[in-house]
Structure 1
Amino acid sequence: MHDYPLEQRTIGRILAEKANRIPDRTFLRFQGTDYTYAQLERLTNRYANGYTARSIGFGDHVAVMLPNCPEFFWTVWGLGKIGAVAVPLNTAAKGEMLRYFIDHSDASVLIVDDEWADRINAIADNIPKVKQIFYRGDKPVDACGLDNCAVPIHKLEDLPVADESAPPVDKVKHDDVHLIMYTSGTTGPSKGVLCPHSQGHAVGRALAIDYGYTQDDVLYTCLPLFHGNAIWYTCYAALWADAAIALSPRFSASRFWDEIRSSEATQFNTLGAMTNIIWKLPPGPQDRDHKLRLCMTVPVPKEIYGEMQERYGITLTSVYAMTENFAMTRFRPDDPAEKAGSAGRPGSDCALRIVDDEQNDLPAGEVGEIWMRALESGSMMLGYYKMPAETDKEFVDGWFRTGDRGYLDADGYLFFVDRKKEAIRRRGENISAYEVELILSRHPSILEVAAVPVSSELSEDDVMVYVVLKPGETLSHAEVVHFAVEHMSYFMVPRFVEFIEELPKTASSKLEKYKLKKDAELRRAELWDREKAGISVSR
């Protein structure tokens, strides 16, 4: 692995160095086409200079709503080369959530794929800070579905210049903001995490070292590039190992193993239910017909740890990480099997504490909140965008409060237990209960809403809402779901809906969600279930 000092950890410097040292090595493999490191350098330069010609410069915020495709790299890393700040948007966002991301981030430019142009068009009157839009798709601009947008619209393919010379690398520093990545809120709106250039490189460096990635590896991902797992834990890890990325548009159980074989992947990552879905595929003689050697599962599945490794001939690894920081712990290939189920141990880049509600340290084996401190510069966020109070709240004397609960065993291995904060985890996505409640409360017939997690058959959670109607109003379970479909990301849409006369509260009017969670689990089979009702929710 070629190492870089902290001051060199900007996307412009590292891509230039690789194009000079390993120009002909494959960087990206996508739908039958390979791109080399030299092409990566030239194309990101072309996009960087093209955006500059459209008056995008250092410090400008650019919202990016693109699928898994090569243009995602050319755009996000091209913007990074000129010091512009990319805001990768969750492509499931729509309605109020989408408006919030664009408006709160102060994006003056929007880059959107044809697939989601209608969502932008629907909120065009409510995103006044956007001054120009780039459109990716085959349709001409006047037919691309953005007719409500009263700003200049450009075809992404028609960037005004084809200059492939490198922008000045000294213009951007390692601690300049590269990305604003939105993470689920808990008791408030989603927070924009200010990620410096060096943060993703800290992740890539640690994984390349601890997992032994080399130039001969092909790291496969079908997870969305707007998500930290794909962009940092696959793409930056490959970048640091001088390795290749095999990119798939999205996860498909039926295509998964064919893509693994055709791309000659040697490593892939899974999140949550994806692990169980792969495990439950029918076994067959082709299970070991691949070049895989490693799989990072989050979390590592203790129950099938040995069986999965034996069936597929792979070694399982894992991490404990957040958008705000990096891989705080790493379950490494040589860690003992009896530690399966843990997230591994911290390396030399991180210190951990487990504390009680009074902020006292707890001994090994006792469950408390996980606190962390970065021991290497440049590996943490710079704060939450336009949320100084929330940023300050998360730090205590230099320790970052994760809001998660867990314990350290006697050997220093971290075992995650649950979330202290009000977040629901579904299919690899953190869902803010607050935001589900806020959106549904806008329905004219709804007085109050409480969202809680219910255990899913596929591991992790499903979303349930308890709904209190305004006096004299009526609403069906299906109508609640249809309203949710219109106004929130597909993965946030409640599966279970229950009407209730009043929500349980303390004498001081604090909602007692633990009572609702207990009720939901006890009566799960009796609850109204949109899946049983035949209501499907598409992306």
Structure 2
Amino acid sequence: MRTDVCDPVAERDALPSWARAVARFSPSERVLPAILQRQAEHYGEQVLFVSGEERWTYADTVQIAAASAQTLIEAGLKPGDRIALMCSNRPEFLRVYLGCAWLGAIVVPINTALRGLQLSHVLRNSRPALLVVEAPYLAAIETIEPDVQLPPSIWIIGSAVETALSAVPLPPLGACACAGAIRPADTVAILYTSGTTGPSKGVCCPQAQMFWWGIYSARALGIREGDVLFTTLPLFHTNALNAFYQAMLNGCTYVLEPKFSASGYWAAARRHQATVGYLLGAMASMLLAQPKREEESTHGLRVALGGGVPAQVHRSFFERFGVPLLDGYGSTETNFVFAGTIPSDRPGTMGYLADGIEARIVDEDDTELPDGEAGELVLRAKEPFAFASGYYGMAEKTVEAWRNLWFHSGDRVVREPSGHFRFIDRMKDSIRRRGENVSSWEVEQAIQAHPAVAACAVYPLPSELGEDEVAVAILLEPGQSLEPVDVIRHCETMIAYFAVPRYVRIVAQMPLTENGKIKKGVLREAGVTADTWDRDAAGIRVRRQ
């Protein structure tokens, strides 16, 4: 008997689940309808999605996607139309997303904290043909600026409430539609990411980019067939959305909780028999700050994403909870492009460059810099459509970011001789607070709308939890006075709660450059000064409008 004959099936089955998924789907099949139908054939009655009392099998999810698409078709929607979606973590969010992806329409998830000028910009830029909004956020829609034209159709998720808007309940599911003629390059979602020197940009995410998010993330996390992926992160961001693809592509179950609860996290993880978790930035520190509970040592979590978690937190987190945190780096425009080892050999770094990605560290002229020298990180993918295709309605910003055929991240990074990449800071001024990107420009626009404010500068100060806090220095108009708490109350109606400053400093003069620009670096380096008012110390809470 010959023993040197290869068995292709056995070899394929021996591969990690993510590698089998790459082999299973040809480049033209890396779109949601093909993925979902193929996986339903294979996994059938296995549970794919859990949210509250809802449980969808792989077979169920195909039917829900097709029926949701038919609902859109009957409402007059067609491929390429934008559907704005303002909804918390609940099954209806995924139902609308799947219907859009099945039809070839484009979903525009909206951060549920947006109000006023921020929300107005998203609607003005995306020009949706349909708005689907969860009932509690109808009040937010009513804060948009007068010149913003709402779409002709508005659907409400949840119990109806009184509103001045012409809206109807989300239609029930009915018949199923055939999948659209969708290509890997087609945009499946426009995700708005905060700008640093201007309004938020709508990142156009192709169908294939979401496929590669599922592949690269699963590879980095060591996801296995049958894993239970447990997330409390919001679906309107990349992380939680691509975790669904991780589950779908790897034969896993995706568990979606309404929101992060430090006190209830481990009990929920144990209840769902979760094996993989998703934590960002301050979340790990918040869990460590909790009193010890029995469930924190009796869960089944094998690994958790730990992007942005400070280096010093990794060891204490592992020692207390028995869960290694994965270092990594990605952005809405790119993918999971850097990942550490499990456990990390250099906690707090970005990790190593992922296979399938090219990276350089460059100077202001895009000339590559040597190891050990900080510069801007630029990236490009080897696989087609693994990165975003540009910014919606912002051609100049697209050209600027993708100049010389590399995506310019705007991050100052060092490549070390060991192969690790280490994040230093943003090339421009940005703030990361509680897992959210805050545009200093947008906060400044809101504050400068106050009649007592002559000028202001928004900048980050270190948080006790490992990320940033929002600080603002304000120069008043002559003869005007303004209490710091009034700044908070002014901002509450105009920007998201997480963007409202914690620190307010009223200054007699701003530090200026020779050409009259405010030196934010000077304000940042000064830190919390004697004349800086601290909202937390004063016991002032931000009201979520």
| TM, length-normalised to structure 2 | 0.92
Task: Give the residue type in structure 2 aligned to 1:213.
Answer: I
Secondary structure class of the residue paired with 2:251: coil
Correspondent of 2:201 among 177, 191, 196: 191
The SS at the match of 1:487 is coil
Tell me if structure 1 keeps the 8 A contact 2:281–2:309. Answer: no
Q: Is the deviation greater in 364-373 or in 186-195?
A: 364-373
Quick one: which amino acid aligns to residue 155 of structure 1?
A: P
- 2:14 aligns to what? none
Aligned match for 2:492, one of 485, 508, 511? 485
Deviations 1:88-132 (A, max 9, x none): 000100111111111111112110001111111333844314111
Hey, what does 1:174 align to over in structure 2?
184
Indicate which of 217, 222, 226 corresponds to 1:212. Answer: 222
Q: Specify which of 362, 371, 382 is matched with residue 369 of structure 2.
A: 362
- State the shift of 1:466 in Å: 1.0
Match of 1:535 among 527, 534, 540: 540
Name segments (4+ residues, structure 1) moved above 6 Å: none
Give, in angstroms, the shift of residue 503 of structure 1: 1.9
- The 1-side partners of 2:264 and 2:437 are apart by 26
- What are the equivalent positions in structure 2 for 1:1-12 lying under 5 Å apart? 1=17, 2-3=21-22, 4-12=25-33
The equivalent of 2:444 in structure 1 is: 437
Residues 1:78 and 2:103 aligned together = no
Hey, what's the Cα distance between the residues in 2 that align with 1:123 and 1:430?
21
CA distance in 1, matches of 2:120, 2:43: 42
Say if 2:345 is the partner of 1:298. no
**SS at structure 1 position matched to 2:391:** coil
Q: Secondary structure, in 3 states, of the residue corresponding to 1:339?
A: coil
Please state how far the C-alpha of 1:146 moved relative to its aligned partner: 2.4
Whole-angstrom CA distance in 2 between matches of 1:89 and 1:243: 27
Deviations 1:30-50 (A, max 9, x none): 224321111111112111101
- 2:168 aligned partner: 154
Residue in structure 1 matched with residue 469 of structure 2 by the alignment: 462
Q: Secondary structure at the match of 1:370?
A: strand
Counterpart of 1:502 in structure 2: which amino acid?
Q
2: distance between equivalents of 1:210 and 1:424? Answer: 26
What displacement does 1:325 show?
A: 0.8
Match of 1:427 in 2: 434
The one of 331, 335, 339 aligned to 1:330: 339
1:118 is aligned to: 139
Q: Show CA shifts across 1:299-339 (max 9, x none).
A: 24421323322322223212211110101111132x6x432
Distance 1:83 1:146 in 2: 31
Deviation per CA, 1:391-449: give whole Å up to 9, x if none: 11112321211111121121211111111121111011111111110111111222211
Instruction: Kindly indicate whether the alpha-carbon contact (under 8 Å) linking 1:117 and 1:145 is maintained by their aligned counterparts in 2.
Output: no
**Structure 2: which 5+ residue stretches go unaligned?**
1-16
Give the TM-score taking structure 1 as reference length. 0.93
CA deviations on 1:439-480 (whole Å, 9 max, x unpaired) are 111112222111011111111111111112222222211111
Partner amino acid, structure 2, of 1:202: W
- In the alignment, is the contact (CA less than 8 A) between 1:9 and 1:174 conserved in 2? yes
Partner of 2:59: 38
Q: Which stretch has the larger CA shift, 87-96 or 12-21?
A: 12-21
Deviating more after overlay: 120-129 vs 372-381: 120-129
Structure 1 residue 378: deviation in Å? Answer: 1.1
Kindly indicate whether residue 212 of structure 2 is the aligned counterpart of residue 202 of structure 1.
yes
Q: Is the 8 A contact 2:314 2:324 kept in 1?
A: no
Equivalent residue for 1:518, pick from 517, 525, 532 = 525
| 1:309 aligned to which of 301, 307, 318 | 318
**Counterpart-to-counterpart distance in 2, 1:310 and 1:477:** 42
**Residue type matched to 2:451 in 1?**
P
Q: Unaligned stretches of 5+ in structure 1?
A: none
- For 1:281, the equivalent position in structure 2 comes to 290
Q: Work out the CA distance in 1 between the residues paired with 2:158 and 2:179.
A: 30
Secondary structure in 2 matching 1:439: helix
Counterpart of 1:13 in structure 2 is: 34
User: Matched residues in 1 for 2:499 and 2:35: separation?
Assistant: 37
Could you tell me which of 254, 265, 280 is aligned with 2:274? 265
Range 66-75 or range 464-473, more displaced: 464-473
Partners of 1:325 and 1:54 lie apart in 2 by 33
Given that 2:81 and 2:105 are in contact with CA atoms closer than 8 Å, whether structure 1 keeps it comes out as yes
Contact 2:327–2:347 under 8 Å retained in 1: no
Q: Displacement of 1:183 after TM fit?
A: 0.6
1:250-303, Cα deviation, whole Å (9 max, x unpaired): 011111111111111001111111110112222355432011101110124421
CA distance in 2, matches of 1:401, 1:350: 14
Partner SS, residue 310 of structure 1: helix
Give the direction of change, closer, same or farther, for the CA distance of 1:393–1:122 in structure 2 (3 Å limit): closer
Residue 241 of structure 2 corresponds to 231
Q: Aligned pair in 2 of structure 1 residues 399, 487: CA closer, same or farther (>3 Å)?
A: same
Contact 1:67 1:113 in 2 (8 A): yes
2:453 is aligned to: 446
- The two structures, once aligned, show a CA RMSD in angstroms of 1.7
Q: What's the secondary structure of 1:338's corresponding residue? A: coil
SS class of match (1:277): helix
Amino acid at match of 1:320: Y
Q: Aligned residues, how many?
A: 523
Deviations, residues 4-45 of structure 1 (Å, cap 9, x unaligned): 122111111111222222110111122243211111111121
Q: d(CA) in 2 for partners of 1:520 and 1:302?
A: 22
| 2-structure distance, mates of 1:72, 1:536 | 29
